[in-house]
Amino acid sequence: MNDAYVIGLDYGTDSVRAMIADARSGEEIASSVYYYPRWRDGLFCDASRNQFRQHPLDYVEGLEAAIKACLQQAGPSVLSAIKAIAIDTTGSTPVAVDSKGTPLALTPGFEKNPNAMFVLWKDHTSTKEAAEINRHALKFDVNYLQFVGGIYSSEWFWAKLLHVLRADADVRQACHSWVEHCDWIPFLLTGGNDVRAMKRGVCSAGHKALWAAEFNGLPPDVFFSSLDPLLKGFTERLFKDTYTADKPAGTLSPEWATRLGLNTNVVVGVGAFDCHMGAVGGQIEPYHLSKVMGTSTCDMMVVPVADMEGKLVRGICGQVNGSIIPGMMGLEAGQSAFGDTYAWFRNFLLWPTETFLKSSTLISPEIAEKLKAEIADKMVPELSRQAAALPLTEENELAIDWLNGRRTPDANQLLKGAVTGLSLGSDAPRLFKAWVEATCFGAKAIVDRFNNEDVPVKGLIGLGGVAKKSPYIMQVMADVMNMPLRIHKSEQTCAAGAAMFAATAAGLYPSVTDAMNAMGQGFDAEYKPEPKAAALYAKRYQQYLDLGTVLENKEASVEAAQ
């Protein structure tokens, strides 16, 4: 292979990262991060209502800025040898578009309308609609939820569409189709102007939109129109065919080639979700659970298709042939809040700092800002250090990690977090310890579900920011799981995975597995369980399950009474 470079573009919750990789070795040549300015300023979001929307301009501006910054770092010799771009995004993060495939927020009259923007994965304004879909599905002889774990989530495609159509008459009138972020960016880069021609990825379609080869596509129109007439005809405006992410979506349009300084021969791959591509970037292996640990977690597994014959894993985010590695069954689970839990606790503790330093008469505003930033940066590392030094007993404070609902097992976004066992001796390190344990217990519940459904978890792979930066949390995870946990060397496995898919889409490798083997960077840490801690955590985990059952029963009784 001659000099060949590829670009992986990773759209996260707060920012987009571009990475240029050497297609021969996977070596990172350049990288750049662009933070969404509108998101950073909290525009179009309302946390009290679980509304989290992102403006498409954040995505478009980030696309151009991040790639240009990478190309400038890499230099002219690399620029001329760029062969392909592939994209991953958070999901399900869909948007209402017109017939040309343009998000409505980019059209006149909708520029500041949150319902015309991308509905971020963590937006839970559609819990009511998700519950209706779950009840409605029971009326049909065919179980249209069988490949998504049997429970539809408010984080997903159809629930969000129905909510937006009900909530906003103007958007309802203008909405021609409904498009995932990971499908829209390749469409944009290739100059698409007819939404019917958009290549939809099997990853997003299978895990979030109920597409299945067994259904010959999406469920029939009657499934949706009998739920709500507002959905009548939508299946015809969406898609029937889907594509794995190793396929080209097209090549760079003249407009985007000019904007980026590249040529129109650059291949653009079909898009997929961040954690699915991240699992490939982290060198996933059959029956090994790849845990992409960021604001939330996505737990990915690949299994030979033949091994899944007759098996349907309950309560996960789906099992889709080819959604991770083409030719293998991809299974997805995860937690709605992981890093978000630690960030919430940090921000909770920072309230006095944020509130009183602003009006301090003792120090200047400039010093106040620097002090605030220093405290925020040191908060979690210091909490981790002190929590690790605390004794581990059955009587420690105990928390439930459902601060953003529960993604899996058994999605229920109405559930809330909790903490018990408090006393006057409960200080910040002890409570932080409880939240760390809770997130690890939530992770173990996922592993238990796979094991109990005869899809054994044979190993653990840790990926993402929390895995790289938090040794204490990773040791607790290994102890709770009572399994070794390998940490992948790459800090940007999602962007690295996108680069591997780009190389495959460009024809530089015959398969994603070949690209992964050639471009993978290996592992640089392993956490092994400590027997005494693992034995005590087994007892603590049962306490977690018991407390969770109490909370679920309480929520169920409240819902039944309404």
In a 10 Å sphere around its CB, with 0-12 CB exposed, 13-18 middle and 19+ buried, how is residue 64 labelled? middle
pTM: 0.92
Using CA atoms of 428, 432, 433, 438 in order, give the dihedral in degrees to the nearest 10: 140
3-state secondary structure of 181: helix
Q: How many CB atoms lie within 10 A of CB 402?
A: 25
Domains of the chain are: 5-282+490-524 (3.30.420.40), 339-489+530-561 (3.30.420.40)
For the chain, the C-alpha Rg in angstroms (whole number) is 23
In DSSP terms, 329 is beta-bridged to 303, 321
Q: Provide the residue-wise pLDDT of the chain in tens; the chain has 562 residues.
A: 689 999 999 999 999 999 999 999 999 999 999 999 999 999 999 988 999 999 999 999 999 999 999 999 999 999 999 999 999 999 999 999 999 999 999 999 999 999 999 999 999 999 999 999 999 999 999 999 999 999 999 999 999 999 999 999 999 999 999 999 999 999 999 999 999 999 999 999 999 999 999 999 999 999 999 999 999 999 999 999 999 999 999 999 999 999 999 999 999 999 999 999 999 999 999 999 999 998 899 999 999 999 999 999 999 999 999 999 999 999 999 999 999 999 999 999 999 998 998 888 899 999 999 999 999 999 999 999 999 999 999 999 999 999 999 999 998 988 999 999 999 999 999 999 999 999 999 999 999 999 999 999 999 999 988 999 999 999 999 999 999 999 999 889 999 999 999 999 999 999 999 999 999 999 999 999 999 999 999 999 999 999 999 999 998 888 777 7
Q: How many CB atoms lie within 10 A of CB 377?
A: 11
- Residue by residue, DSSP assigns 6-54 as EEEEEE-SSEEEEEEEETTT--EEEEEEEE-HHHHTTTT-BGGGTB-EE
C-alpha to C-alpha distance for 466 and 390, rounded to whole angstroms: 21
C-alpha to C-alpha distance for 176 and 161, rounded to whole angstroms: 12
* CA distances for 310 relative to 151, 219, 331, 456, 458, angstroms: 18, 20, 15, 15, 20
Region for 353 from its dihedrals, namely left if φ exceeds 0, alpha if ψ lies in -120 to 50, beta otherwise: alpha
Using CA atoms of 219, 90, 245, 458 in order, give the dihedral in degrees to the nearest 10: -90
**Per-residue H/E/C for 109-168:** CCCCCHHHCEECCCCCCCHHHHHHHHHHHCCCCCCCCHHHCCCCCCCCHHHHHHHHHHHC
Pairing of strands 272-273, 328-335: unpaired
- Pull the structure tokens for residue 358: 């602003």
